[in-house]
Amino acid sequence: MRSRKPSVWSRLSFASVMACALGGCVDPHYGEDVSAATDGSMHPDVMPFASSSDASVDARAQTELPKEPPAWALPLLGDYAMRVRIYGTESTTGNLISATNETISAVQFRYDAASDRVLVDTQMCRNHAELSFGQNGAIKYPALYPVRTQRVQFEGGTFSTESLDTGAVGYVDAVPAGCVPGKQIDRSADQTWLGATCTCPSDNGLPTVREDCRLTDPDHDMKPGFTIAFSGTITSEDYCVTRDTSRMVAGKIDPDGHHIASYLVYQDSYQIECAQGGCTRAKADICRDDDNTALFAKVEPQKGGALWNCDALLAAVDRGGLLPNDPPTFPSNCHQ
């Protein structure tokens, strides 16, 4: 008799980048228009257009000095190794399951003069989830996960981040041209798991079927979405999509580059297919925000200002001395 599959929280949400219960996460900044303030006035980051007849304004614009990053951002700017740990529990199976998800990423804080914003780019390099009953999961090709770019803000002595897009991974938001709900059209070139056609979606929610025309193959393994591999009690793979707008808050800036922030999980995920048959889904409870943290360690900048290569970054991390080597410790006050 085959063993019962662990729940989606243990198999998917905690094995995905930021571990989140299905359908339970909404980014409070999702869809925010940063060009307008809440009182209807113009956002302070957006300059009003000058009248075309105001030659003096045009002249000043042509001689305007290059913009400089704000003083608060100077200790942040640069390249880092980042470790994010997320904890949570799930009890749908009748037994309390606890799990830890750890992700190592290459990170770069930078100033974009064109938009006069501080941004942070994040490239996942390694992801691993460990569950209390001996099951492990990991994103199979983390270095092929798309780079996330978020805006960095500073208020009250701490920094926070917010997403600049919907965080779609494994699919695209826009439907192909000519798509009508339910209509069959020619599939895209990378939808190699399909025949000649795909099916136009009926709404703009997460894709839930392998025929959805919006699905992509970001890790190029000829499977829909991105792949999560499992080992331990069960060896298997799941093929998934996610909308991830997780963010950092209460970030403390350290002059030596050892910054720390709380990590808020805002993620909605779905298993398109599971290699061992039907996918099992359950609800998860992520531990308190203070329990889930992002730690930073500064590294030397790369030539041309590029993000660190994942192989080189992981080698530096594994040599030790860069990030703390403390083992994950499940918080005793997880939901208190």
Give the model's pLDDT for residue 336: 65
- pLDDT of 63: 54
Residues 27 and 156: beta-carbon distance below 8 Å: no
Identify the pLDDT of residue 95.
61
Angle CA 260–264–269, to nearest 5: 135
Nearest CA to 29 among 150, 170, 119, 110? Answer: 150
- Whole-number pLDDT of residue 276: 72
CA angle (46 as vertex; 43, 49 as ends), nearest 5: 125
CB-CB contact of 287 with 335 (8 Å):
yes
pLDDT at 258: 96
The predicted pLDDT at position 94 comes to: 57
Alpha carbon distance 223, 42 (integer Å)? 45
What is the C-alpha separation between 282 and 20, in angstroms, rounded? 11
Structure tokens at 66: 């290059």
Report the chain (336 residues): mean pLDDT per 10 consecutive residues. 36 37 32 36 35 47 70 97 93 71 97 96 94 86 93 97 94 93 95 96 93 96 94 88 95 96 92 79 78 96 93 95 89 79
| pLDDT value for 116 | 95
Number of alpha helices (DSSP H) and beta strands (DSSP E) in the chain: 3, 16
Bridge partners of residue 294, in order along the sequence: 84, 261
Domain boundary assignment for the chain: 8-21+75-170+227-336, 171-216
What is the value of pTM for the model shown?
Answer: 0.79
Place of tokens 């994942």: 310
In residues, how long is the chain? 336
pLDDT at 335: 72
pLDDT for residue 131: 83
Task: Give the number of other CB atoms < 10 A from CB of residue 165.
Answer: 13
Of 223, 233, 173, the C-alpha closest to 193 is 223
Predicted confidence at residue 288, as pLDDT, reads 86
Helices (H), 14-107: 55-62
